[in-house]
Amino acid sequence: MHIVVCAKMVPDTTQVSIDPVTNTLVREGVPFITNPFDDHAIEEALRIKDAYGARVTVLSMGPAPAETVLRKAIALGADAGLLLSDRAFGGSDTLATSKVLSVAIAKLSDQERVDLIVCGKQTIDGDTAQVGPGIATRLGYAQVTLVDKVLDVDLDTRRITVRAKFDNRHQVVEARLPAVITVVREINTPRYPTVPRRLYAEEVQIQVWTNEMLKLDPNTIGLKGSPTWVKRIFAPEREKGEIVMGLGKEKEKAVRLIMQKLADWKVLGP
Amino acid sequence: MSVVESVLFALAFLGSLFFFLRRVFRLFAIMLLGKAEPRFDHLPDRLKSLLLFGFGQKRVIEEPFGVNHFFLFWGFILLQLMVNSEFIIAGIFPKFSLRFLGDILYPIITFTGDVTSLVVLLVVIIAAFRRLFFKPPHVERTLEAFFILILVGLLMIANFGLHIASIVPGQGREEYVPISQILAIPFAGRGTELSWQIAHRVFWWLHAVVLLVFLVYIPYSKHLHILTALVNCFFRRFAFVRALPPMTFKQGERFGVSRVTQFTWKDLLDFFSCTECGRCADACPATSTGKVLNPKEVILAGKANLLRNGSAILAAREGDTIAGTDNRTLVSLPLIANTHETSVSPQAIWDCTTCGACVEKCPVFIEQFPKLLAMRRHLVMESADFPPELITFFQNIEQRSNPYGIAPVDRARWAADLDVPLISEQPNAEYLFYIGCVASFTSRMKSVMTAIIEALRKASISYAILGKEEQCCGDPLRRLGNEYVFDKLARGNVALFKKYGVKKMLTLCPHCYSTFKHDYKDFGARFEVIHHTELLSALLKAGKLQPANGLQHERIVFHDSCYLGRYNDVYEEPRAIIRQATGSSPLEMEKRRRESFCCGAGGGRMWMEESTGTRINADRTRQALRQDPTVIATCCPYCLTMFEDGIKDEKTEGKVRVLDVSEILGGSFTQKTD
Ligand code: SF4
Ligand code: SF4
C-alpha cells in the first residue's frame, strides 16, 4: 500500500501578534511549523503503516525551507518526502494548490500506485478545509472528511472504513480505495521521533519537483491561477472585557458586583 | 594431626580455592564487558579514599549501627591475618606455626586473634538480634543474611572450641589466649584426654569446613562486597555526580542503555559492590512515598541481569578470552522490563527525582540514579517510549524554548513594569541575570523577582536580562534523558552567551544554576555562575544591603534544594540571609543539608504526573510543618511551587506561607494582606 500525506508549512499562528497601530499581523520572527492538523495526518498514515504495512510519502508544496516539514515527517517514520517548489506555484489559493498537488500525486501514482491520501482537516493559516476535497475531486477518488477514527483497511477488497466526526454524531463510512481522508485532531496523538530516525532524516535526500516536472500551464497555478484574493487581514474588534477579582473575604463582594452587572444588562431579572 | 587429614584438607582447600578463583575471574571478565570509563586519574586521592572510606569505613559509621560493621570488618581482616592464615598453612603442613615470628610478635598475634574472635562473635550476635527484633525498615530479614551470620558465628565458636580442647587437657602451649582460657575454666578437669582429642579434631574440622564454605560462598553471595567494596571506594567519583557525559549524535551510535553491557565497567563494578544495606532506599523520596522505584532494587536487578547475561556472553565465546566480541545478539534478558529481580521497570526509571540522596548515602559510593538516567536516555531517544504527558513538554521546549508552550515573545512580560535592563541595550552589565522558565511564566514568582531586582538596585549591582532571547536552560530535558534536544539547546544558549560576552551569570533557580555551572562546561561555557542566595548573602555581609525590619517573630523553617545543596554544596548562604533578616537561625528539619529530602520536582518530575504512591511534596510539607513554622523558606522556584501545593493539601494555607529567601530579605511579604 502506498499512502501519500499532504503537509504544509505554516507560520505558528499562536505566536502571531496583531500590530496595534496598523491592525495587521506581525509575522516577523514568527517560527514556521508543520500545520498541526497535518501532524495528525502524518501520524495516522504511520499508524496504518504500522498496522497494515505501507509506504508513506509525504508531499508538501512550498518554498525550499518547507523541506523541514518533510524531514520531520521522515524522522517520525515516513519513508520519503517530496517537495513541490517553484516560483510558479507561489501565491496559489486552494483551487490552484489542489491542482498542483493532484497533478503531482497522479505522477507519483504512475511510479507507485497511490492507494490512500491523508490530509489534515484544514490549515491553521488559511482555515478553508478545501484542499483535501479539491484533490479528491480532481483525481476522482472517494473522499471522507473530518475523520476521527480509521476502523479498517482491507487491502484484498481495497476498501477503507472510517468514522467521521460531526457536531453531535458520528458517521461510519466505507470507501473504495484509492480514497482521500481528511482528519481531525482527535484522531490520534502524534508520536515522538527517535534520535536515530532524526539523524537519518537530517541527512536524507529530499526530492524536489518543479513545474518543469509537472508541466502545468503557469496561468492556471500560482497567483495567476488563483481566483481568491486576500484583501485585508485584520483583528476583529472586540469590546474589552473586565475581570472581577475577589478572593477570600472579597468573595461576597465580587459575587454581588457580578449580580449587579448582570441585572444592569438585563440578563438577570430584578 | 594425621597425614590423611592433612592430605584431605589440602585437597579440600585447593578445590575451594579453585572454585573461588574461577568465580572471581569470571566476575572480573563480566565486569570488563562494560564500556570504557576513565577512572584512573587522581591516584593519590583514590588511595586516600580507599583508606578513609574503605579501611576507615567513614560512611559506614555515619549511621548509628555502622559501628557494628566497623568491628566486623576489622575483626574479619585481623582474623584472616592472625588466625586463618596460620590455620590453613598448618592444616597442610602440620609443622607450621607463626611462633617463628618471635617472642614479642607471636604473643601479640595470638592475643589479638583471641580477643578479636570474641568481638566478632558479639558483633554477630548483636547483628542477628537487630535483624530479628529491632529491624529498621530498610534492612531485610533474608535467609542469606542469617546464613552468613551463622557461618561467622560458627567459625568463632570453632576457634574457641579448638583452644578450649587443647587448654583443658593441658596440651599445647596456649598461653596468650585469655578469652579462651576463661571459657575453658568451666570444663577444667572434665572429660578424658581422648574425648578432648576427639573434640579438638571435631572443632578443627568444623573450623576448616566453615572457613572453606565461606571462601567459596563469598563471591556467589551479597558478601561479594567483601571483595569489591574496597575497590569501589578506590574508583569512586570525587565530585558529586550531576549528569551523564554528553554524547555524539552520529548515525550508527547508540543513545542510552537498554542492555546491561552498555553500562561502563564502573557501573558494572557498582552492581557487584552493593552490600544490600538499604541506606539508599531509606533516603530515597520515591521509595519512601510508595513508588515503584527503590534504588537498592535497581542495583540488585542490574547485578542479577548482569550475572545472567554476562555468563551467557562469556559462555558463547570461543576459548576463555577476555577479548571483546559483539555481545549484542547474546544478551537475552531485557534490562528494562516489568519482570522483577532481573530488570528495572520503566515506572521505576521515571519515578526518580534525581535528588541524589541515594548517591550521597551509599557507604561504598555506588552511583544509583545515573544508571536510571542512562536508561531514560534509551527510552526517550531510542524508543520514544515515555509517559504521554512528556510529549507536549518535549515539543514545547523544542519549539518554544519553554515547558509551558507559551510564545517566546511573551517571556519577559513579567518585567514590563519593573524597568529591567535588557542585555542587548546594556551589553556591559556585570551580571547576566538569567530568569529561567518558571519565574518568567508564573505569576507567583513575580514578587520573588521584584524582591531580587529591588535588592540589586539598592546595592547598585549592574545587571541585565536576555528578555525574549532567553531560552530554557534545558535542565529537565537532560534529567529526563532527552539529550538530543538538550544538546541543541545548550549549544544555542552558549552561542548566545558568547555573543553577549557573558562573564558572570546570576540565576534565580538552582536548576539553571547547576546546569549552567557544570553541565554547560562540556558545551564550551566559560563564565562564572552565581545563585541569587550567594549574591544576596555576599551583599548583606558587605553591608550593601539592609534586611527589612520586623521579622523577629516569624518562625522560618528552611528547606535545602537538592540542586543547590547536594549538587553544589551551598548550604550556608540561604541560612545566612534568614539569620540576617530575622536575627536568628532558621528552624531545621530532621532531614536537612546533605540529607535533605527532595520536594518532588527535580529530574523533570515537575512536569510529570505523580500517580503512584503518595505525593513527595506532601510528605516534605508535613516534615516542614512538624517544626510549627509561620514561613517555609525555599530558594528554588520548583520547591516553592511544590510547597505551595503541599500546604494547600494540608489545609494550612493562610497560616503558613511559602517564601523565597529573597522575599524574606526584602520583607515585602509582611506588607501584603491577602
Ligand atoms: S536520586 Fe533520589 S529519587 Fe532518584 S533513586 Fe536516588 S534517592 Fe531516589
Ligand atoms: S546501593 Fe549502596 S546504599 Fe544502596 S543498598 Fe547497595 S550498598 Fe547500600
State whether the beta carbon of B276 lies less than 6 angstroms from ligand 2.
yes
Q: Is residue B243 part of a domain?
A: no
State whether the beta carbon of B277 lies less than 6 angstroms from ligand 2.
yes
Query: Is the same domain home to B525 and B441?
Result: yes
DSSP A30: P
Cβ distance B136 to B281 under 8 Å? no
Query: Is the same domain home to B377 and B409?
Result: no
d(CA B441, CA B426): 23
Query: Is the same domain home to B362 and B455?
Result: no
| CB < 8 Å to A194, chain B | 381-384
Query: Is the same domain home to A200 and A254?
Result: no
B652 C-alpha vs ligand 1 centroid, how far in Å? 28
DSSP A81: E
Q: Does the beta-carbon distance from B407 to A14 stay under 8 Å?
A: yes
What is the position in ligand 1's atom list of the atom closest to the CA of B280? 7
| CB < 8 Å to B250, chain A | 199
Residue from the list A17, A195, A248 with its beta carbon closest to the beta carbon of B409: A17
Domain carrying residue A246: 240-270
Domains identified in chain B, total number = 3
For residue B391 the three cell numbers come to 510529549
Tell me what percent of the residues of chain A surpass a pLDDT of 70: 96
Q: Is residue A260 part of a domain?
A: yes
For residue B463 the three cell numbers come to 545587571
d(CA A52, CA A46): 10
Which DSSP string do the residues of A195-228 spell out, in sequence order? HHHHHHHHHSPPEEE-HHHH---GGGSTTTT---
d(CA B520, CA B517): 6
User: What is the rounded end-to-end Cα distance, in angstroms, of chain A?
Assistant: 67
d(CA B362, CA B177): 38
B391 C-alpha vs ligand 2 centroid, how far in Å? 33
Please state the pTM of the whole predicted model: 0.91
Q: Is residue B246 part of a domain?
A: no
Query: Is the same domain home to A174 and A260?
Result: no
**Helix (H), strand (E), coil (C) string for B601-645:** CCCCHHHCCCCCCCCHHHHHHHHHHCCCCCEEEECCHHHHHHHHH
Lowest mean pLDDT among A102-106, A253-257, B357-361: A253-257
Query: Is the same domain home to B534 and B631?
Result: yes
Query: Is the same domain home to A42 and A105?
Result: yes
Query: Is the same domain home to B142 and B164?
Result: yes
The 10 Å CB-count burial string (b at 16+, else e) for B639-670 is bbbbbbbbbeebebeeebbbbbbbbbbbebbe
State whether the beta carbon of B353 lies less than 6 angstroms from ligand 2.
no
Q: Is residue A68 part of a domain?
A: yes
- Give residue-wise pLDDT tens across range A33-69: 999 999 999 999 999 999 999 999 999 999 999 999 9
Which ligand is closest to the CA of B283, given by its number? 1
B280 C-alpha vs ligand 2 centroid, how far in Å? 6
Q: Is residue B251 part of a domain?
A: no
Structure-model confidence comparison of residues A96 and A270, the more confident one: A96
B346 C-alpha vs ligand 1 centroid, how far in Å? 15
Query: Is the same domain home to B628 and B668?
Result: yes
Q: Is residue B249 part of a domain?
A: no
The 10 Å CB-count burial string (b at 16+, else e) for B113-127 is bbbbbbbbbebbebb
Q: Does the beta-carbon distance from A31 to B383 stay under 8 Å?
A: no
Q: Does the beta-carbon distance from B250 to A200 stay under 8 Å?
A: no
B429: left (phi over 0), alpha (psi -120 to 50) or beta: beta
Which ligand is closest to the CA of B371, given by its number? 1
Query: Is the same domain home to A247 and A131?
Result: no
d(CA B642, CA B193): 76
Which residues fall within 8 angstroms of residue B491, CB to CB, at 6 or more apart? B523
Query: Is the same domain home to A245 and A154?
Result: no
Query: Is the same domain home to B332 and B424?
Result: no
Domains identified in chain A, total number = 2
Q: Among B354, B382, B410, where does a domain finish?
A: B382
d(CA B109, CA A199): 67
Query: Is the same domain home to B358 and B480?
Result: no
What is the β-pairing status of strands B463-464 and B431-434? parallel
State whether the beta carbon of B280 lies less than 6 angstroms from ligand 2.
yes
Query: How close B621 comes to chain A (CA, Å)?
Result: 23
pLDDT band at A255 (very low <50, low <70, confident <90, very high): confident
Q: Among B234, B267, B297, where does a domain finish?
A: B234
Query: Is the same domain home to B329 and B416?
Result: no
Query: How close B540 comes to chain A (CA, Å)?
Result: 36
Most B CBs within 10 A among A17, A46, A192, hence the mutation to make, goes to A192
Give average pLDDT by consecutive 10-residue segment, chain B, 674 residues.
90 96 95 94 94 93 89 91 90 88 89 94 93 81 87 94 88 77 88 90 95 94 92 94 94 94 96 94 96 96 94 75 50 84 94 97 96 98 96 94 91 91 95 96 93 93 96 97 97 97 97 97 96 96 84 90 97 94 92 96 95 94 95 96 91 85 76 38
User: Looking at beta carbons, which pairs linking B279-282 to residues 24 or more positions away fall under 8 Å?
Assistant: B279/B63, B279/B138, B279/B361, B279/B362, B279/B363, B280/B357, B280/B358, B280/B359, B280/B361, B280/B362, B280/B366, B280/B368, B281/B138, B281/B358, B282/B136, B282/B137, B282/B138, B282/B361
d(CA A33, CA A195): 19
Residue from the list B249, B388, B399 with its beta carbon closest to the beta carbon of A33: B399
A185 touches B: beta carbon within 8 Å: no
Q: Is residue A72 part of a domain?
A: yes
Instruction: State residue B121's pLDDT score.
Output: 95
Which ligand is closest to the CA of B372, given by its number? 1
Q: Among B356, B382, B408, where does a domain finish?
A: B382
Query: Is the same domain home to B321 and B351?
Result: yes
Q: Is residue A227 part of a domain?
A: no
Query: Is the same domain home to A147 and A249?
Result: no
Which DSSP string do the residues of A174-199 spell out, in sequence order? EEESSEEEEE-GGG-------HHHHH
pLDDT band at A28 (very low <50, low <70, confident <90, very high): confident
Query: Is the same domain home to B406 and B552?
Result: yes
- In chain A, count of helices (H) and strands (E)? 7, 13
ipTM, two decimals? 0.87
Domain carrying residue B360: 278-382
Query: Is the same domain home to A51 and A183?
Result: yes
State whether the beta carbon of B519 lies less than 6 angstroms from ligand 2.
no
